[in-house]
Structure 1
Amino acid sequence: MSAAAAPADAAPKGGGKKKLIIIIAAVLLLVLGGGGAAVLMMKKKKAAEDEEGADAAPAEQHAPAAHAKPGTPPTFVPLDPFTVNLADKEVDRYAQIGVTLEVADPHMADTIKAYMPAIRSNVLMVLSHKTSEELLTREGKDKLAKEILRESVRPMGIELDDEEEEDPKPKKKKKKKAHVESPVTQVLFSTFIVQ
């Protein structure tokens, strides 16, 4: 009797192996098909970006790439807080300001850290020439952020022209300089106390 029971058990095992093979083949087919479709879509997307960027590519060749891949979070480089005597003449006033620089590329954050003593010195020079009246207005804070942005990249040999942003009509015709893109995308204030 045990010999007759053995062939009955063998038949279901063979069917189970066939089902397993069919399931594995179906999963592989789906994965390969999805992967192929993703590759095709990425190629189409890249071709479309290349066509759109073809006109802008010659103008951007001289500028350093400051933007990371889309979808990646920016990198923040906090500077130690600045405590500075202000340029007020009638009263002794000071400001304590915390600054954080936003950069798109983590490698640029390392470069900024290497230039930190020169960057801090430049920012201190800007702050020490400000009065409390200038710093207490929104426009004054915006202007200060632009000046800190300009001074934070200067030690790296990058000269930003902030005159173009403030005055769209130049008074004198100057040679057009190549547009330089700043590796620092934004200046953020973490603390701002004026006393």
Structure 2
Amino acid sequence: MATAPAAEEAAPKGGGSKKLIIILAAVLVLVLGGGGAAFMLLKKKPAEDGEDGEHAAEEHAPKAKAKPKSDHPPTFVPLDPFTVNLADKDVDRFAQIGITLEVEDPKFAEQIKAYMPAIRSNVLMVLAHKTAVELLTREGKEKLARDIMRESVRPMGIELEDEDEEPPADAPKKKKKKKKAAVESPITQVLFSNFIVQ
């Protein structure tokens, strides 16, 4: 009879270690399953960007004209900050604006620096004809950027068309001229580093 109680005591000990093994195995399965799922999700993203992603990228691509990426980073030409009185008639208002020109060709950046006094003069003339109301809207800032781009290349003999300019309604209609080939600006973007209107 002494052997029966010893067998009963051995059974619970064995059952406890079996439970421990089962729990450890379950935890191991969960960890491996979670790691495998994470691996599959991470592996799936680059595949979407690759072959399968080409079609997805085409579907989600913006309708705007995409510029091809060049091999070298763009060059930035910062202009000294401008402080100018605005064209508001009722109140004396002024603007302090920091401008940086983005160009792709470093050689053109050097050319811009050579023409800097004329460029600054043209930009000041553009700013002096703006009112605070025009400059405070997003559309006004975008138009200002286009005007600055046009005036920044003018001293170098590059004439860009004014997209916003419409002929007056009472002006006589002229015969349609042959469209000039569109001149592409060497300045890719006008960036504002600070923009204060008071």
TM-score (norm: length of structure 2) = 0.60
CA–CA separation in structure 1 for the residues paired with 2:76 and 2:86: 27
**Alpha-carbon deviation of 1:69?**
7.5
CA–CA separation in structure 1 for the residues paired with 2:95 and 2:150: 20
Residue 180 (structure 1) aligned to one of 177, 183, 187: 183
CA–CA separation in structure 1 for the residues paired with 2:130 and 2:174: 26
Change (3 A) 1:165 1:182: farther
CA–CA separation in structure 1 for the residues paired with 2:162 and 2:135: 19
Q: CA contact under 8 A between 1:68 and 1:104: conserved in structure 2?
A: no
Q: 1:30-45 counterparts in 2 under 5 A? A: none
Q: Which residue of 1 aligns with 2:83?
A: 83
CA–CA separation in structure 2 for the residues paired with 1:70 and 1:150: 23
TM-score (norm: length of structure 1) = 0.60
The aligned amino acid for 2:110 is: D
Q: CA contact under 8 A between 1:68 and 1:105: conserved in structure 2?
A: no
Change (3 A) 1:92 1:180: same
Change (3 A) 1:72 1:171: farther
**Alpha-carbon deviation of 1:178?**
1.9
**Alpha-carbon deviation of 1:166?**
8.3
**Alpha-carbon deviation of 1:165?**
9.2
Q: Which residue of 2 aligns with 1:193?
A: 196
**Alpha-carbon deviation of 1:181?**
1.3
Change (3 A) 1:171 1:133: farther
The aligned amino acid for 1:70 is: S
Q: Which residue of 1 aligns with 2:133?
A: 133
- Higher RCO, Cα 8 Å, sep 6+: 1
Q: Which residue of 2 aligns with 1:124?
A: 124
Q: Which residue of 1 aligns with 2:102?
A: 102
Q: CA contact under 8 A between 1:118 and 1:155: conserved in structure 2?
A: yes
Q: Which residue of 2 aligns with 1:149?
A: 149
Higher alpha-carbon Rg = 2
Q: CA RMSD in A?
A: 2.4
CA–CA separation in structure 2 for the residues paired with 1:89 and 1:147: 22
3-state DSSP of counterpart to 2:70: coil
CA–CA separation in structure 1 for the residues paired with 2:166 and 2:143: 10
Q: Deviations over 1:55-91 (max 9, x none)?
A: xxxxxxxxxxxx9982310000000000000000000
Q: Which residue of 2 aligns with 1:43?
A: none
